[in-house]
Amino acid sequence: MKAVILHGPENYPNNYEVMDIEKPVCGKKDILLKMKAAALCGTDKRIFTGGKTKGVRPDSVVGHEICGVIEEVGEEVQGYSAGEKVAIANVIPCGHCSACLSGRENACLNRKAIGYEFNGGFEEYIRVPDICIESGNVVKLPESVSYAAGALIEPLACCIRGLYNTGTGFNDTVLIIGAGPIGLMHLQLSLIAGAQKVIVSELDPEKRELALKLGACRAVDSSKEDLHAIVMEETGGEGVDRIVMAIGVNALVDSTFKLAKKGGTVCLFAGFPKGRMSEFDPSVIHYNELNITGSTAYKRSDYLQAADMVINGKIDLDAIVSAKFKLEDFREALDLHMAGTALKVVIED
Ligand SMILES: [Zn+2]
Ligand SMILES: [Zn+2]
């Protein structure tokens, strides 16, 4: 079968190849999944270029936003059968570490994940191991949900965790920095949570246009317009209640803090390059009593909520898919993804 083998973190773009490997064997407690959609994510950018190495094995298959059809069910697995459409919550918490036991399974100290410790979505057939099935990470989907939308339940779940951490609710004013797929999900979720208005800051004109279509009150080109002035104009000079940084740009942290209202919350949602520092004025946090938070992965409950929203048509994920490629054209897909101009790039079979 075809698979994208990532040899190691160095020498991008020569560190991976699309090649034939043995089809995985479905163990007694496993499910073998036929991949139908696997989406590329900002994290994959960092993995392929060596910026993220934790859990990534040499000569393995990555890809963690996955939807497929069950090809084979191990004889000891109950509750699933061949032919069912499922999406995979790829993060498997241990359930017994201090993070798990204090209600933060998304930050599990011993987490295992498909696309990291186990081979992921960029291959024709994926072995879903027993611990993934037992922990409820295989979620059935109805015919009405597209495979691409099924794969995007995973990043949506991450955004739902981010929404909870940001605390966005009724009548809040919200600013989202970056209108890539993640920013656009945060936009939709903020409005669903009851935000009064959502301002989006984004350099790309097409993404700004889509943000307006999806309900943003302003879509600001901060290279040409004064974001600070616009935020103050929209909020009676007070700043916004909630800010989500959906792009991990260190240089923007300081100016972003200054856009929050007194007592406001800033969520550093995006992954930032490891080890790179940001300079900011701590007196802004002090005098404005800001809450600064982050967000990592998702709890299984977030994933189930994300799946529920998609199944019930409460959020438009297909709108943020801009290109689909076959597995054999993975290189083309990754090039487009790396260019940063597209929204979601999805590998489909
Ligand atoms: Zn992702
Ligand atoms: Zn744990």
Residue 289 C-alpha to ligand 1 middle, in angstroms? 32
What whole-number distance in Å separates Cα of residue 204 and Cα of residue 290?
29
Residue 233 Cα to chain centre, angstroms = 31
List beta partners, residue 113: 91
Mean pLDDT of 204-213: 97
Confidence of residue 50 (pLDDT cuts 50, 70, 90): very high
Residue 107 C-alpha to ligand 2 middle, in angstroms? 7
Mean pLDDT of 326-334: 98
Residue 335 C-alpha to ligand 2 middle, in angstroms? 35
Question: Which CATH number fits the domain that encloses residue 148?
Answer: 3.90.180.10
**Encoding tokens for residue 222?**
């901060």
- The 10s digit of each residue's pLDDT in 224-252 is 999 999 999 999 999 999 999 999 999 99
Residue 111 C-alpha to ligand 2 middle, in angstroms? 6
Residues by chain with Cβ below 5 Å of ion ligand 2? 93-94, 97, 100, 108
Q: Is 305 domain-assigned?
A: no
Q: Which ligand is nearest to the CA of 159?
A: 1
> Does 228 share its domain with 147?
no
> Does 213 share its domain with 104?
no
> Residue 91's closest CA among 64, 59, 56?
64
> Does 11 share its domain with 44?
yes
- The 10s digit of each residue's pLDDT in 168-196 is 999 999 999 999 999 999 999 999 999 99
Q: Which domain, by its residues, includes 225?
A: 158-294
Q: Is 42 domain-assigned?
A: yes
Q: Which ligand is nearest to the CA of 155?
A: 1
Q: How many CB atoms lie within 10 A of CB 217?
A: 16
> Does 170 share its domain with 65?
no
pLDDT over 90 at 274, yes or no: no
The sheet carrying 173-177 orders its strands as 218-220, 197-201, 173-177, 240-245, 260-268, 291-294
**Residue 26 identity:** C
324 three-state secondary structure: strand
Q: Is 226 domain-assigned?
A: yes
> What pLDDT does residue 293 have?
98
Q: How many folded domains does the chain comprise?
A: 2
Question: Which CATH number fits the domain that encloses residue 176?
Answer: 3.40.50.720
Residue 115 C-alpha to ligand 1 middle, in angstroms? 10
Residue 151 C-alpha to ligand 1 middle, in angstroms? 10
> Does 235 share its domain with 343?
no
What whole-number distance in Å separates Cα of residue 212 and Cα of residue 231?
16
Q: Is 36 domain-assigned?
A: yes
> Does 228 share its domain with 102?
no
Residue 20 C-alpha to ligand 2 middle, in angstroms? 35
Mean pLDDT of 263-268: 98
Q: Which ligand is nearest to the CA of 105?
A: 2
Residue 314 C-alpha to ligand 1 middle, in angstroms? 21
What whole-number distance in Å separates Cα of residue 205 and Cα of residue 214?
14
Q: Is 310 domain-assigned?
A: no
Residue 224 C-alpha to ligand 2 middle, in angstroms? 45
3-state secondary structure string across 253-274:
HHHHHCCEEEEEEEEECCCCCC
What would the DSSP string read from start to end of 79-131? S--TT-EEEE--EE--SSSHHHHTT-GGG-TT-EEBTTTB--SSBSEEEE-HH
> Does 30 share its domain with 170?
no
> Does 127 share its domain with 27?
yes
Residue 62 C-alpha to ligand 2 middle, in angstroms? 22
Helix (H) or strand (E) holding 244: strand 240-245
Residue 32 C-alpha to ligand 1 middle, in angstroms? 22
Mean pLDDT of 311-334: 96
Residue 148 C-alpha to ligand 1 middle, in angstroms? 13
> Does 117 share its domain with 200?
no
220 three-state secondary structure: strand
Q: Which ligand is nearest to the CA of 100?
A: 2
pLDDT over 90 at 17, yes or no: yes
Strands 173-177 and 112-113: unpaired
**pTM of this structure:** 0.97
Residues by chain with Cβ below 5 Å of ion ligand 1? 41, 43, 155
> What pLDDT does residue 51 have?
86
Q: Is 25 domain-assigned?
A: yes
> Does 112 share its domain with 207?
no
Q: Is 312 domain-assigned?
A: no
List beta partners, residue 60: 6
- The 10s digit of each residue's pLDDT in 123-174 is 999 999 999 999 999 999 999 999 999 999 999 999 999 999 999 999 999 9
What whole-number distance in Å separates Cα of residue 236 and Cα of residue 159?
28
> What pLDDT does residue 279 have?
97
> Does 145 share its domain with 26?
yes
Confidence of residue 214 (pLDDT cuts 50, 70, 90): very high
Residue 336 C-alpha to ligand 1 middle, in angstroms? 16
- Tell me the angle at which helices 205-213 and 181-192 cross, rounded to the nearest 10 degrees: 20
Residue 195 C-alpha to ligand 1 middle, in angstroms? 25
Q: Is 307 domain-assigned?
A: no
> Does 100 share its domain with 225?
no
Give burial (CB, 10 Å; 0-12/13-18/19+) of 283. exposed
- The 10s digit of each residue's pLDDT in 2-14 is 999 999 999 999 9
